[in-house]
Every structure is written in C-alpha cells, then in structure tokens.
Amino acid sequence: MKFIVSFCAMTLLGAGAAQAQVELSTYGDAKGNLDVQKLTCAQLANTFQEDADFMTVWYSGWYNGLAGYSKLKVDRAKELEHRVIVYCKANPKTKVITAMDINIKKMRKEQGIKVNDEK
C-alpha cells in the first residue's frame, strides 16, 4: 500500500514538473521570435534545461557583441551561465538581461577583471 501511495505521489510530482516546463517560443511572437530584453528569470527557469542552457550562453555572447568585445574566456562564461541560472531561480521577477548585468559586474569585481582586457 505504502509503495502504491508513494508511486502515485511520484507520478503526480513528475506530471507537475513536466507541466511547469514550457518551450521558450511560448513567450515569442507569432513567428517564434523572442525579445531577449523582455525575457524574465521565471520564464528562463520554467523552460527545458537544454533551452535554458542555450539561452544563457547566447546571452553571454549577445552581451559581449553589444559591448563590442571580441574575446571570450570560456571558463568565466560557463561560471557566469551557472551563476545566472542560480540567481534567476532566486529572483524570478527579474529580467534575464538584468541578472546577466548584475552577475557580470559582480564577477568582474571579485576577479579584478579590467573591461579593456576583453576588447
């Protein structure tokens, strides 16, 4: 009996988790274009892990492209990806670009990184 109850609970939990995950294109326009300046942490956290990972790396590149940087530090980019995901889970109402900005500045400060190194 106990086994059946816990099995049912696990099934319900699994179904709940699956329902919570949606494709990122849900937040896009009719053509599937997603405005990256509007995406929130909650939306990023509620999507599939694969898409969340893709988007976090994409944001890292986007941020560097916007700023005109042409140099990439892979380990730092991966660390940033991790920090943004953790930050987003704790701050669902924040926009992802804000989470990126906060964490990039924090990492630069912690590691004494000079902006000109990245140009």
Partner 1 sequence: MMASSTGHGNALLGALRRIDLRVALAAVAALVASASASQAQVELKTYMDDKGYLNVRALTCAQLAGTFQEDADFLGAWYSGWWNGHLKRHVVNIPRAKQGIHEIIVFCKDHPDEKVVDAVDEYVKKVQAGGK
Q: Which residues bind partner 1 (CB under 8 A)?
A: 24-25, 28, 31-37, 51, 54-55, 57-68, 70-75, 77-78, 117-118
CA distance 74 to 17: 31
Task: Closer to partner 1 by CB, 19 or 70: give it.
Answer: 70
Q: How far is the CB of 33 from partner 1 (least distance, A)?
A: 4
Residue nearer to partner 1 on the CB measure, 102 or 113 = 113
Q: Please, what is the minimum distance in Å from the beta carbon of residue 95 to partner 1?
A: 12
| Nearest one of 42, 74, 43, 41 to 57, comparing CA atoms | 74
Neighbouring residues of 69: CB distance < 8 A, sequence distance ≥ 6: 118, 119
Q: How far is the CB of 1 from partner 1 (least distance, A)?
A: 45
- Any idea which residue has 């937040």 for tokens? 27
Neighbour count for residue 26 (Cβ, 10 Å): 11
Residue nearer to partner 1 on the CB measure, 7 or 58? 58
Rounded to 5 degrees, φ, ψ at 28 are: -90, -175
Q: How far is the CB of 40 from partner 1 (least distance, A)?
A: 15
